[in-house]
Amino acid sequence: MLLHLFKLSFSALVFVHLITPAIAATYNVTSTNCLGSDSITEAISLANANPGEDTIEISSGISISGCGPLDPRAPFYLVITDSLIINGNFSTIRGFNDWLTPNGNLSPLYPDDESCPSQAVGWKFIGASNGLFQIGEYQTDNSGLVVKVNDLFVEKMSMLAEVEDNASLELTRVFTNKITSLLSSCQAPLIFANPGADISIESSLFQKSKSWSTLPPSVKGMIKNSGSSPQSNSELLIKNSTFDANYQKAAIVWRGDVNIVSSKLYNSGGLFFYDGTANLINSIVFQDGRLNGRDRDWIFVWDADLNVIASTLSFGHTSCDKTLFPTTCVSPNWPNFDFVNRSLIMSFLSGSISFKESAVQVRLPSFGDEQQPLMRAYDASTITADANTFIQPVPLQDATALETLTSQPSLLTGSPSMPVLANEVELLQTYPPSVVTPIISQSSTPGILIDAIDNAGSGQINELLDHEGNPITTDALGNPRVDSNDRRNIGAVQTTLSPHLIVSGIDNGLVQLAWSKPIDPVGGALTNYDVCYGSGASPDPVALGTSCSGTLQVIANMPDTLSGDVSGLTNGTKYWFLVRANSAGGASPWSNVVEETPYGPIAAPVITATPKYNQVDLQWGHIDAGGKQVSHYIVKWRIQGTDNWLGFKQVELPNNGMINVGTTIKASVTNTEHTLGTYYEYAVFAQTTDGDNGERGFATVPTTAELGKAETGTKKGGGSLSFVLLLGAILVFRVRKLTTLLSKPLLLVSTLALSTFSQAEETGSDKYKGFTVDLGLGVSYLSPDLDATDWEQDKKAQPAFGFGIGYQFDENWSVDISYHWLNHVKLQSDNLNYPETELHYHMLSGNAKYRLNQLWGNNYAPFVMLGVSHLDVTVSGSSSLIEEDKNTQIDYGIGINLSDTDLGKVDLSWKKVTGDVQLLEIRVVVDITD
C-alpha cells in the first residue's frame, strides 16, 4: 500500500513538472556594439535558447552599430526563433548603407532613380548592411511565434524585417529612416511576409526608404507578402501610422486581408490588393503627381474587395506626360496590359471598390497632354460610391461619367469641395494638411464636404468605427473627428476652430510652417494668423488660453495664406511652434504644438595637400556643421578634369569627436595605382550623424616620383652638426708582459675610462712604451638626414660606451683600435608609409698618433691623428627606407697634452670622420711603476 502511494506521488510530481511553463526572462542590452557582451545579438541568442516569451530591454536612447557587413548568405543580423518582446526605449539601431555615385554624390535618394548602387557602373560602396530582423525560421511552420518591437529607431539597413511562414510581427512606435534595399539586387522590400505571416504596425513612422526594383509595382512593394490565389491567410494592420517620402513603386502589395486605419501615406507608392478584403478607414493617401508616369500612384484591386471609408485620396493629375516620362507612360513590363488607357484607380476580375463618405481629389485636373480617366472597372469588377462621397471630375471623365461608373446619381462632384490648384508650380509646392483640407466656403457658399455627415457623435447612427467596431475619435491629422454639433466632414480631415499645424521644412536659422484653414471664429471672417514659438519644454495649447509663453508675431496676413516662415533662429536648437487664426471678433484657439530644429549649411573644409609617392597628405580644420554633429569625413579622389571618382576613404574624428571648430584633422591617402606626375583632385566633405553631407572642399596636386629615404652614414650623420662626446680618464701602469697586465689591479677613475701599458724602463724614450687598454663612457647624439621623409626623430642625447686596445712605441708614436656603442634613434611619423623605425649606431676606428714634444717638451705638446673609421647602423623597422652612405671613411684629428707628470698624462683631442661625425675626448694617463 505504501509503495503504491509512493508511486502515485512520484507520478504526480513528474506530471506537475512536465506541465510547468517555462519561466520568462528579461535580458538587458547596454552595449552600443551590435556584437559581443551585453549586446543586442547576445540578448536575442539567449532569448532564443530560453523557451517562452522573453523580454529584451535596450538602454534608453543608446545608438547601436557595428552589426557587420552585407552578407547575402545570412541576410539578417537578428534571427528570432521564439516569441519575444523588444522594448527599444527609443534607442537606435544604425546600419551603414552608403554609396558614392560617379559624380561624387553620397547616398542620393531620387524618386525617379532606377540605378541600383550595387549594379550601376562607376558607383562605389562606402558601406552596406544586411536586413535587421528575421522572424522565425525559413520554410518552417512558425505558428505561435509572435515578436513585438516597441519604441525603436532603425536607420540605414537594407530591410527592416522578413517574417517567415505563419509567424507574427507587431511594431509599435517604430521609426525607420533611409532603409535602402541593397539585398536581392536592390529589390528587397522594407518588410516581407511569407505565407501565413501577419504584420501589425501601429503609431509608427516609415520615411525615406528606397527600392530600385525594375519589376512592375504589382510585384514589388515597400510592405509585401508572398502567396497565391485563392486568398492568402495573411493579415496586415496599419494604424495611426505615417509613411512619408518612401521612393517605392508601391507602398503595399498584399494578398489577404488589409486594414489601414487613421494613417497617412504620403508619396510612398501605390496600393495593390489581391484577393481578400481591404479597408481604408479615416486615412489619407497623397501622391504629389511627379510619379504618375511611373505607375506608382495607383490604387489597384485584383479580385479583391476594397472599402474606402471616411478617407481622402489626393492625386496630382491624371496625365502621363511623355515629355517628362518618354519611356514609361507605357510600361514594358506588362506587354499584355493596356497602359495607354490606364487610370489611377482600377479594379479587375471580380474585384470591387466601394467609396463611403470619402473624398477623391485631383489637384490639377487640367495638367498634361496625355490625360486619362481617373478610374476604371475592368472585367466583371465594380466601382461604387454612396451619396456622401466626393469624386473630382477630370477632362476625360466628367461628373456624368463618374455618376454612371459608380452607379450613384447623387455623387458629389461640385464645388466648393477640395482645393484645386492653378498651375504645376503649385502642384509641386503644396503638401498636406492644407491641400487635403476641405474648403470651408467660397464667398457665401458653404463647402459641400463640411459637416455633411450628421448624427456622427458617440453612440449615434453615423458614428465612425474602425474595422473591429471601435469608435474613431480623431481625424487622420489628430483633430477631433466630430464637431460640437455631432457632425463630421466627408473625407479624413475635420475642420475645426483651430488650425492644424505641421513643419513643412527647415533652412538656415529658419523653420517653415504650414497649417489647415480653420472655421471662421465667432465675431467675423478670418483676417490673419499668429505664431507663438520658443525653445525648451513645449506648452499645453489649451492651458495657454489667449496668451503666448514665447515670442508672438504675425506669420501670415491673408486668411487663405496657409504657410509661413519663422526666421532668426539658432541652428541646432529645438523650438516649439503654435499657430492661431485672428478675426475682428478675436482669436481662435491655439493649434496643436509642433517641434523642429533648424540647421544651417554644412561648410566645406579648406584643404592643404602635400604630395608624396603614391600618397597625398591632407589636412583641414574641423568645419561648422550648421548645428549638426559631424560623424566623420569622406575623402575621395579622381584625375583632374575627369568625372569619375577613383576611390574614397572615411576619416574618423580625433578625440572621439570631442573637438572644436578649427581643430586640425589630418589624413593620408595612399594609392599605388596613381600615375606618376599626373594631377589628382581630392575632395573632402563632412557627414553628420543623421547622414547628411556637407559641401566639398577641393585640392589638386601631382604624384611624386618616389618615397623619400632617410640617409645615414659618415657623410650623413645628421641634418646638423652632430658630436660624440667621450670624457675619459686613462689609468696607465707598466708591465713586463701582457700576462702581467692581466694580473695587476685596475684603478677606475670617475668610472669613465681605463688604459694600461707595460713599462720597459722608467727613463728615456721607453718611458711610455707598451700596450694600452681603454674603456670609455660618455654621451652621444647622432641623427640621420630626414629632410626627404616624414619621419621625426626623438631629440635625446644618450649614453655612449667605448672599448679600445693599442700600443705606444715611444714618446711620439702610438696606434690604437677602438669600438664605440653610440646612441640609438627612434623615428616616428603620422604617415602610414613611414612606420616606426629605430637606428642603432656603432663605430669601429683604427688610428695612429704622433706627439710633437720637440717643440717645448711633453707638457702642452700638440699631437695629430690619422686613421680609418667605420660607422655601422643597425635598423629595426623599415630598412628599405634607410639608405647608408659610405660608412667607411678616413678620419683625422688634433689634440694637445694638458698635463704630463710622473703619474701620467691628460690629453684633449678632437677627431672628425669625413662628413659630420665628430669625436671629442679627454684622456688621463696615469703612470704606475712596478
Q: 844-883, pLDDT tens digit by residue? A: 899 999 988 888 877 888 999 999 988 888 888 766 677 7
Among residues 48, 49, 56, the alpha carbon closest in space to that of 91 is found at 56
Same fold, 501-587 and 607-703: yes
Q: Residue 711: what pLDDT?
A: 61
Name the residue among 810, 776, 761, 742 with its Cα closest to residue 911. 776
Dihedral pair phi/psi, residue 730, rounded to 5°: -105, 120
CB 43 within 8 A of CB 28: yes
User: pLDDT band at residue 920, thresholds of 50, 70 and 90?
Assistant: confident
Q: In this structure, what C-alpha cell is assigned to residue 67?
A: 552589426
From 241-250, 401-410, 422-431, 475-484, the region with the lowest mean pLDDT: 422-431
Burial of 664 (0-12, 13-18, 19+ CB in 10 A): exposed
Q: What CATH architecture is 607-703?
A: Sandwich (2.60)
pLDDT for the residue 620: 95
In the predicted structure, residue 783 carries a pLDDT above the cut 80 = no
pTM of the model: 0.69
Strand order in the sheet with 664-670: 607-612, 615-621, 664-670
3-state secondary structure 259-311: EEECCEEECCCEEEEECCEEEEECCEEECCCCCHHHCCCCEEEECCEEEEECC
In angstroms, the CA 832 to CA 835 distance is: 6
For 42, counting Cβ atoms within 10 Å of its Cβ (0-12 exposed, 13-18 middle, 19+ buried), the class is middle
pLDDT in tens, 452-500: 999 999 999 999 999 999 999 999 999 899 987 889 999 999 987 788 8
Distance, CA of 279 to CA of 261 (rounded, Å)? 8
- The whole-chain average pLDDT of the chain stands at 81
User: Residue 732 above 50 pLDDT?
Assistant: no
Q: Report whether 405 contacts 354 (CB < 8 A).
A: no
Task: Report which of 258, 250, 252, 260 is spatially closest to residue 233, judged by C-alpha positions.
Answer: 258
Q: What is the pLDDT of residue 914?
A: 62
Residues 417-423 have a mean pLDDT of 90
Residue 187: the pLDDT is: 81
Could you tell me what percent of the chain has a pLDDT over 90? Answer: 43
Residue 147 contacts residue 170 (beta carbons within 8 Å): yes
The percent of residues above 70 in pLDDT, for the chain, comes to 79
Q: Is the pLDDT of residue 924 over 70?
A: no
C-alpha–C-alpha distance, residues 909 and 896, integer Å: 6
β-strand partners of 868: 846, 890
Q: Which tens digits make up the pLDDT trace of 323-370?
A: 555 544 544 344 344 444 578 999 999 999 999 999 999 999 988 777
> What cell does 636 get?
575621395
For position 340, what pLDDT does the model report?
46
**Residue 243 pLDDT exceeds 70:** yes
pLDDT band at 719 (very low <50, low <70, confident <90, very high): very low
Q: How far is CA 595 from the centre of its chain?
A: 24
Contact 29, 39 (CB under 8 A): yes
Domain locations in the chain as residue ranges:
67-240, 256-495, 501-587, 607-703, 710-735+764-927
- DSSP string across 398-438: -HHHHHHHHT-TT-B--SSSS---SSHHHHHH--TTGGGSP
Architecture of the domain spanning 501-587: Sandwich (2.60)
User: What is the number of other CB atoms lying within 10 angstroms of the CB of residue 369?
Assistant: 9
CB atoms within 10 A of CB 504: 20
Q: What is the structure's pLDDT at 826?
A: 84
Give me the residues paired with residue 821 across strands: 801, 842
pLDDT in tens, 50-61: 999 999 999 999
Q: How many CB atoms lie within 10 A of CB 12?
A: 10
The reported pLDDT for the residue numbered 88 is 97
Alpha carbon distance 559, 565 (integer Å): 16
Range of lowest pLDDT (100-104, 558-562, 665-669, 736-740): 736-740
Residue 57 Cα distances to 67, 132, 145, 151, angstroms? 18, 17, 19, 11
What sign has the CA pseudo-torsion 88, 284, 420, 455?
negative
* Mean pLDDT, range 780-795, rounded to an integer: 74
Here the cell at position 118 is 550595387
Among the listed residues 346, 362, 424, the one whose alpha carbon sits nearest the alpha carbon of residue 398: 362
Quote the CA–CA distance of 260 and 13 in Å, as a whole number. Answer: 50
Mean pLDDT across the stretch 246-250?
82
For residue 172, what are the contacts with CB-CB under 8 A and spacing of at least 6?
148, 149, 150, 151, 202, 203, 204
CATH class of the domain whose range is 710-735+764-927:
mainly beta
Contact partners, residue 98, CB within 8 Å, separation at least 6: 106, 107, 125, 126, 127, 156, 687, 691
Tell me the Ramachandran region of residue 15: left when phi exceeds 0, alpha when psi lies from -120 to 50, beta otherwise.
Answer: alpha
**Mean pLDDT over residues 669-690, rounded?**
80
Asked if residue 533 has pLDDT above 80, the reply is yes
Highest mean pLDDT, choosing among 130-144, 520-534, 907-921: 130-144
Cα 596 versus chain centre, distance: 22
Lowest-confidence pick of 306-315, 396-405, 766-775, 860-869:
766-775
Kindly report, residue by residue over 584-621, the tens digit of the pLDDT: 888 888 998 999 999 999 999 999 998 876 678 899 99
In 10-83, which ranges are E strands? Answer: 26-29, 54-58, 63-64, 76-80
Question: E strands, 166-226, where?
Answer: 168-177, 191-193, 198-202, 205-207, 223-225
